[in-house]
Amino acid sequence: METLNHNIQAIPLNHYILLCSIIFSIGVIGVLIRRNAIVIFMSVELMLNSVNLLLTAFSVYHGDATGQVFVFFIMALAAAEVAVGLAIIVMIYRNTNSIDINVLNRLKW
């Protein structure tokens, strides 16, 4: 554990912010360029995880454990979101035989 603590001491906070914003942008690009609804859900999971990593980094940086408690709440929220979202996708597939989001434009007027 001492070597791990020594490892972290050399990393600036900016590099954590840079890493997390790069992964968040990859998630945004994934939502924009894919048409498969499940892959879009996975990009949303990538965004949630990058925010989790940044919250933990700030929590360690400030020496405040509240950030890691919030990561726990975000994970509970993500589990609930995935369960409901995948149930909706299964229902949509049963009705339309496709999970292409361009088929799902019936909500438009």
Partner 1 sequence: MSTFYFIAFLSIFFSILVITAKNPVHSILYLILTFATFTIHYILMNAQFVAIVNFIVYMGAILVLFLYTLMLINLNKESEPQKSSFIKIIGFIAGACFLVAVVAALKAFKTSQLVVLQDPNLGLVKNLGKILFNEYLLPFEVSSILLLSAMVGAVLLATKDPKTT
Q: Which of residues 43-82 bind partner 1 (CB under 8 A)?
A: 43, 45-46, 49, 52-53, 56-57, 59-61, 63, 65-66, 68-69, 71-73, 75-82
For partner 1, which is the closer residue by CB, 1 or 109? 1
Tokens of 42: 């996975």
Q: Tell the smallest beta-carbon distance from residue 108 to partner 1 (Å).
A: 17
Window 78 to 107, contacts with partner 1 (CB under 8 A): 78-84, 86-91, 93-94, 98-100, 102
Counting Cβ atoms within 10 Å, is residue 2 exposed (0-12), middle (13-18) or buried (19+)?
A: exposed
Residue linked to tokens 């509970």: 76
- Chain Cα centroid distance, residue 45: 3
